[in-house]
Amino acid sequence: MRLDAMMFTRRDALTGILLACALRPAAATPAMMEAAIADFTKNRPVTEGRVKLDLPPLVENGNAVPLTVSVDSPMTAQDFISRIALFNEKNPQPNIALFYLTPHAGRAQVSTRIRLGDSQFITAIAETNTGALFSAKAELIVTLPACAEN
Amino acid sequence: MAAALINVQKTVRKGEIIEIKTLMAHPMETGFRTGLGGQLIPRDIIHRFVCTFEGVEIFAADLFPAISANPFIAFTFMPQQSGTLTFRWFDDKGGAQVETARIEMV
Amino acid sequence: MKRLAVLIACLSGPVCAQDSKSVSFDKRSTFDLMKPETQAMQRDDASNPAMLWVQEGRALWQAKAGSTDKACQDCHGDVASMKGVATRYPAYSAAQQKVVTLGQQIQFCRAQEQKAEPWTAEARPVLALSALVGLQSRGLPLAKTGPAEARAVAEGRALFTERRGQMNLSCAQCHDDHAGQSLGGAIIPQGHPTGYPIYRLEWQDLGSLERRLRNCLNGVRSEPWPSGSSENVAVQTYLRERAAGLPIETPAIRP
């Protein structure tokens, strides 16, 4: 590449990085996520397990990340999952979705697609009809598309 | 709001668990983006989705801006009888979209 | 901005050492480069958001419009009759005396047959009808161009291989010479127009090949060709010829 083009490139790259830092919207910090989780759990104990969080480990575009959450539950009228909440660490807001399930589901499983602004941990917390809480965590890396729109 | 796309099998056997897949045409504007003039684009998302079967709620969701544009939601259902599923999406502008699908028990 | 910086930083690397030669690789759809979950989104019509547009297209196909009060199906019948059509676009139109894209042909029909108000070039209804018509050819190979398109193909090839923009890059330098190599976290695709209109996750929207080309030109800091211009159509025609034989995937998902 010619020298003048290279100089443009470096200057622009630097400007880009500085602007990206300045313009970035306030992101949810892990502390904000903790607060959102506490709001859901009302400080009841959460047991890790029974919940399965399916997410691609390496995401090629953070605009639509496929996610499936499932919980080990008989889903009978006596014993079922009533709510599943999804939280993230680094988006501007910690909440992703809150699903309300019933024994009619047959199985505790929901799929959706989510937006992730950065590589981070996703947390899913499931609540049973008796108020017991179970959780799972998954880490993913969000890569940046080389040829973005702007 | 525009169109919805619902994928449900038309016939089910007793005891069968089916997956219902839904897509809704919606930009899910986050409220965090700025327009060309630098002004904030107001938030406009579908914040709630509800599915009922013969009037009984079988699934619902509260959605936040972290849900992708043209939201995709898939969930399971074990029908006990023939009946009609009703799907409702509610957006920030006060709009609601309603779709139905029929299931026959065979 | 951050992404842009990454793009520029990457492009300033070893790319563009020499000018491009003719295409000499096995043709591969960008589908092959996508992550399994993105491929799955395209494979399953029930989870492919582009099918929302196809559904709208179906309604438009049957909707009477314009002062003649005709619907597409009044002339063409069921949309299944459009099988194979999208394999032959861009195509020379004798009526318009030029090579036109499928979207332009839809607009021409709307103006001539329906006598309806024109849509803007990338308006939702044009994309919806293009997706619907394109879907009828899914799985069929893109057809080679004919003598009537030869001039557009030659013009398109010239534009494709010509260095342009502040980055002084040609399309061919990335998509012929360095296809399959990494650019940032992504692999540079060969750039075949097999799935348009595509639902691009980056756009969170359905978009045309014209929009994709505009993206590329912005990427190399070049003035985009005007919408519907002969340059734009010529490059699209060359891309059709270059991809001939690859199956149509419309409506495809791309990251």
* CA-based nearest residue to B2, from B31, B20, B28: B28
What digits encode the pLDDT tens for the residues C205-248? 999 999 999 999 999 999 999 989 999 999 999 999 999 999 99
pLDDT at position C183 is 87
Residue with structure tokens 């309604």? C59
pLDDT > 70? residue A12: no
Confidence of residue C11 (pLDDT cuts 50, 70, 90): very low
Contact A97 B57 (CB under 8 A): no
Chain A: partners with 3+ C-beta pairs within 8 Å: B, C
Instruction: Write out pLDDT tens, residues A85-130.
Output: 999 999 999 999 999 999 999 999 999 999 999 999 999 999 999 9
C58 at interface of B, judged by CB pairs closer than 8 A: no
B61: Cβ contacts below 8 Å, ≥ 6 apart: A97, A98, A99, A100, A110, B48, B49, B50, B73
Known catalytic membership, residue C216: yes
Q: Which residues of A touch B62 (CB under 8 A)?
A: 97-98
CATH 1.10.760.10 residue window(s) in chain C:
20-34+142-254, 51-135
C55–B contact, CB cutoff 8 A: yes
- Distance from the B97 Cα atom to the nearest Cα atom in chain A, whole angstroms: 19
Which has more pLDDT, C215 or A18?
C215
| Average of per-residue pLDDT values in chain A | 85
Query: For residue B8, what is the nearest residue in chain C, using CA coordinates?
Result: C46
For C20-34+142-254, CATH gives 1.10.760.10
Q: Which two tokens stand for residue B47?
A: 């914040």
DSSP one-letter string for A33-56: HHHHHHHHHTT--EEE-SEEEE--
**Domain spanning A27-142: which CATH class is it, in words?**
mainly beta
Sketch out chain B's domains with CATH numbers: 4-105 (2.60.40.10)
List the structure tokens of B96.
């609601």
Residue C41 region by backbone torsions, left for phi larger than 0, else alpha for psi between -120 and 50, else beta: alpha
Share of chain C above pLDDT 90, in %: 86
Contacts 24+ apart (CB under 8 A), A29-34: A29/A89, A29/A90, A30/A89, A32/A94, A33/A87, A33/A88, A33/A89, A33/A94, A33/A123
The answer to whether the CB atoms of C52 and B74 lie below 8 A apart is no
Q: Is B77 on the interface with A (CB under 8 A)?
A: yes
Chain A residues in contact with B68 by the CB 8 A cut-off are: 63-65, 112-115
pTM score, whole prediction = 0.89
Residue with tokens 């002062």: C67
Neighbours of C72 (CB within 10 A): 24
Q: Do C49 and B23 touch (CB under 8 A)?
A: yes
Query: How many whole angstroms separate alpha carbon A94 and alpha carbon A86?
Result: 9
Min distance A140 CA to chain C CA atoms (Å):
14
Q: Please state, as a whole number, how many other Cβ atoms lie within 10 Å of the Cβ of residue A12.
A: 18
- Is the pLDDT reported for residue C4 higher than 50? no
Tell me the shortest Cα–Cα distance from B14 to chain C, in angstroms.
24
Q: Using alpha carbons, list the distances in angstroms from residue C61 to A124, B46, C168, C195.
A: 43, 28, 43, 20
Q: Does A26 touch chain C (CB under 8 A)?
A: no
B56 touches chain A (CB under 8 A): yes
Do the bridges between strand B83-91 and strand B96-105 make them parallel or antiparallel, or are there none, so unpaired? antiparallel
The domain locations on chain A are 27-142
Q: Give dist(CA A36, CA C168) in Å, integer.
A: 49
Q: Nearest residue on chain A to C14, judged by CA atoms?
A: A1
A-interface mutation test, from B70, B75, B78, B85, most A Cβ less than 10 A away:
B75
Give C 182-221 residues with CB within 8 A of chain B.
Answer: 204-205
What type of residue sits at position A109? Q
**Mean pLDDT of chain B, nearest integer:** 95
Asked if the model's pLDDT at residue A20 lies above 70, the reply is no
CB contact under 8 A, C56 and B27: no
- How many residue pairs from chains A and C have C-beta atoms closer than 8 A? 103
> What's the confidence (pLDDT) of residue A143?
86
Contact, C202 vs C255, CB < 8 A?
Answer: yes
Give the pLDDT confidence score for residue A149 in this predicted structure. 67
Min Cα separation A6/chain C (Å)? 6
Residues in B closer than 8 angstroms to A107, CB to CB, are 17, 76, 78
State whether the Cα torsion C124-C130-C136-C142 is positive or negative.
Answer: negative
Structure-token pair, residue C168: 């002084």
- C203 to chain A, any CB pair closer than 8 A? The answer is yes
Q: Residue A1 pLDDT > 80, yes or no?
A: no
Confidence check: pLDDT of C19 > 60: no
CATH number 3.40.140.10 given to C51-135: no
**B105 touching A, CB under 8 A?**
no
- Least confidently predicted of A1-15, B33-47, C116-130: A1-15
pLDDT value, residue C25: 67
Residues A8-37: what's their mean pLDDT? 61
For chain B (106 residues), the mean pLDDT of every run of 10, in chain order, is: 87 97 97 90 97 98 98 98 98 94 96
- Within 10 Å of residue C187's Cβ, how many Cβ atoms? 17
Using alpha carbons only, how large is chain B's radius of gyration in Å? 16
Mean pLDDT of C164-184: 94
pLDDT confidence of residue B2 = 61
Quote the pLDDT of residue C9. 43
CA angle, A105 then A111 then A116, to 5°: 150
* pLDDT top residue among C48 and A149: C48
DSSP B35-103: -TTSPBPPPB-EEEEEEEETTEEEEEEEE-TTBPSS-EEEEEE--SS-EEEEEEEEETTS-EEEEEEEE
Neighbours of chain C (3+ CB pairs under 8 A): A, B
pLDDT digits (tens, 9 = 90+) for C21-37: 445 569 999 999 999 99
CA distance C174 to C104: 28
- Any chain A CB within 8 A of the CB of C229? no
DSSP A83-142: EEEEEESSSSSSEEEEEEE-GGGSSEEEEEEE--SSSEEEEEEEEETTS-EEEEEEEEEE
Of A38-47, C1-10, C183-192, the range with the lowest mean pLDDT is C1-10
In this prediction, residue A148 has a pLDDT band, given cuts at 50, 70 and 90, of low
The residue-averaged pLDDT of A51-73 equals: 96
Residue C63 above 90 pLDDT?
yes
Q: Cβ contact (<8 Å) for B66 and A102?
A: no
In chain B, whose CA is at the least distance from the CA of A150? B36
Q: Predicted confidence band at A30 (pLDDT cuts at 50, 70, 90)?
A: confident
> With an 8 Å Cβ cutoff, is C204 touching chain A?
yes
